Amino acid sequence: MQVKGNSDVKPIVSIVMGSDSDMPVMSKAADILDKFDIPYEMKIISAHREPDVFFEYARSAEEKGIKVVIAGAGMAAHLPGMFAAICPMPVIGIPMHTTSLGGRDSLYSIVQMPSGIPVATVAINGGANAGILAAKILATSDSVLLQKLKDYKNELADSVIAKDARLQEVGYENYQK
């Protein structure tokens, strides 16, 4: 559930992206947080183009009650690492696919953090996994959320069983039709 306006619900996850071009990937993290009823806020903020705004936002995250940050960035991909350098909460970095290097540049930038400044990193364009990882981090102190995650895992298993049952019924030649 996204937090909007003067809601009494305070966000506990911050989803941050460097550009609106990142929205298709970052929205997958939001979809997962919605599924688990985790309140979040979503921002477009650039560490390079508006550093003062970025630093203030990152410094204020803890006092606002943010527990986990999901940050996505392409190209130089400094956003997740800079968040991790500034705020004490866990940061999950999502490397974005780029046209020049296919996202490897983003992946390397996020995963190669110096000692003492960790960033959890998911796959290139791994928005859904970032949302799931945020939920898992929060579930360490929330038994209701932990049960939702267990139920979700069962749903995933059930979907694979259903797909295999369909394959066995119709055969591979008709499976995609």
pLDDT in tens, the chain (177 residues): 456 444 678 999 999 999 999 999 999 999 999 999 999 999 999 888 899 999 999 999 999 999 999 999 877 678 999 999 999 999 999 999 988 888 898 898 899 999 999 999 999 999 999 999 999 999 999 999 999 999 999 999 999 999 999 999 999 999 987
One domain, residues 149 and 121 = no
pLDDT at residue 170, rounded to an integer: 95
Rounded Cα gap, residues 80 and 93, in angstroms: 5
One domain, residues 129 and 167 = no
One domain, residues 40 and 84 = yes
Host domain of residue 115: 13-141
Q: What is the pTM (predicted TM-score) of this model? A: 0.91
Q: What angle do CA 66, 70, 73 make, to 5 degrees?
A: 140
CA proximity to 124, closest of 109, 143, 104:
104
- The total of structural domains in the chain comes to 2
The token pair that represents 35 in the structure block: 């599924």
Q: Is 148:38 a contact under the CB 8 Å cutoff? A: no
